[in-house]
Amino acid sequence: MKKKVLSLLLVGAMLGATLTGCGGSGTTDNSASNAPATDNAPAADTSTNAPADTSADAPAGDQTLTVWCWDPAFNMNAMYEAEKVYQKDHPDFSLNVIETPWEDVQTKLTTAATSGDLSTLPDIFLMQDNAFQKNVISFPDAVVDLTNSGVDFSQFAAGKVAYSVIDGKNYGVPFDNGAVIGCYRTDLLEQAGLTIDDFTDITFDQYVENGKKVLDATGKPLLSMQAGECDLLMMMMQSAGSSLFNEDGSANIVGNETLKTVMETYKQLRDAGVLIEVNSWDEYVGSIVSGDVAGTINGCWIMASIQTAEDQKGNWAVTNMPSLVGVAGATNYSNNGGSSWAVSANCQNTELAFDFLASTFAGSTELYDNILSSGALATWAPAGDSDAYSVPNDFFGGDAVSAKIVEYSTKVPSNITGVYYYEGRDAVATAITNYINGADLETEMQGAADTVNFNMQ
């Protein structure tokens, strides 16, 4: 079984990207980051002008760490800012940050692990949260256990930490925030006699009723989603702490009452006209910023796209998402997107890597203050108490949305991703498309389970 998993991952990786060595130059990547950056994001500073003095308390050995991550204005910028913070007490420290698109990170990790030659890996690399469990389970010898690294994982949102926990051990330091928010055009809500309070701490039944009022008053749906995708379904699932997989890795689709409710709720939204489907990501963003819909539900990074509509400044508000009706453990909180830092087994100075991560991404409000303007919101709870996070955001009605979102992230239930998370998503996406077009729900859930089980075997 494990050999089949490794073979499939290797074949997919070899087809997905061209291999380059660890010491080579970075690869240019203009794709969106796990949390899109705002227009005024600072340019990435690639200099590492470290002073000549050596810090007395710096970990011994070479004081340079190599890092793989993508997106200069977001993830790479965060690393350079972390370098500056750490250099204040460790002046000989420096980073060698290599721009590496996520697809290439996955390819290089797969190739190194399956070949048995980990020497091509960097000291630290960024990994998408939804792929973390898959990679650690498939390649347990490629990454380092961080449980006793000095990082206080209790200070991060539990749902975020859970993405990189396998068999009770921590393998990732959480980075950016993907907490789900509901964003609404308050001027359009007002036309329907509603306010943002009418969308706070509500259920999806209440959401549908509010949506009908907005549709009647303005002719605009509340929500748009990309056809053939299941982001909203996965957000609903996690909001109740449910998953497509069991802890032993087996598929949890047939008989999953939460998934059934999620699919029924999605169809209810669509049938009521409260949700419309569009054909692409660009159309999705366009429907929001053009005013074709009155709001959206997505990871908090969607705010960066919303704020490009400068003429709508002051007419948006942020609150939590609706909860599922009749589902045990249902909450108004979920997550969509995000990534975490891993330390590779090739790291020659794990003490330095541990201390760097514990002192910055797991220990510095200054760092999170510095990267806030790039759209990077923390899941590290102490950052939410910073003055920078309490600054009112005029675009969102003067609300201190950054602090609010950090609070939301601490309430997100954890879920299980496992090795076949993306295969599960794809199968459910096909099932929901067939279901809303008239197919039998139970039959489609069985078909999704059969597809996942086939991939697993």
- Which residue has tokens 């949102």? 157
CB-based contacts of 456, cutoff 8 Å, min separation 6: 249, 251, 419, 420, 423
pLDDT digits (tens, 9 = 90+) for 328-352: 999 999 999 899 999 999 999 999 9
CA distance 243 to 410: 19
Q: Which two tokens stand for residue 447?
A: 């078909």
Secondary structure class of 38 (helix, strand, coil): coil
Q: Is CATH 3.40.190.10 the classification given to domain 195-334+415-456? A: yes
pLDDT at site 61: 64
Cα–chain-centroid distance for residue 18? 25
Quick one: tokens of 452?
Answer: 């996942």
Rounded CA separation 37/58 (Å)? 33
Grouping H, G, I as helix, E, B as strand and the rest as coil, residue 222 is coil
Q: Which amino acid is at 190?
A: E
Yes or no: say if 324 and 258 are a contact pair by the CB < 8 Å rule.
yes
pLDDT score, position 28: 33
**2-178+338-385 and 195-334+415-456 in the same fold:** yes
Residues whose CB falls within 8 Å of the CB of residue 351, separated by 6 or more in sequence, listed in order: 59, 60, 61
What are the residue boundaries of the structural domains of the chain, listed by start?
2-178+338-385, 195-334+415-456
Question: Tokens in use for 326?
Answer: 């009749």
What's the Cα-to-Cα distance from 456 to each of 6, 72, 219, 245, 314, rounded to whole Å? 12, 36, 45, 12, 49
Residue 85 identity: V
Parts of the chain with a pLDDT under 70 = 1-61
What is the dotted CATH code of the domain comprising 2-178+338-385? 3.40.190.10
pLDDT (0 to 100) of residue 60: 54
CA torsion, points 298, 295, 374, 377, in degrees to nearest 10?
-50
Find residue 354's DSSP bridge partners: none
CB 35 within 8 A of CB 337: yes
SS3 169: strand
Question: What integer pLDDT is reported at residue 373 of this predicted model?
Answer: 85
Decide: 453 and 171 in contact? Cβ < 8 Å.
no
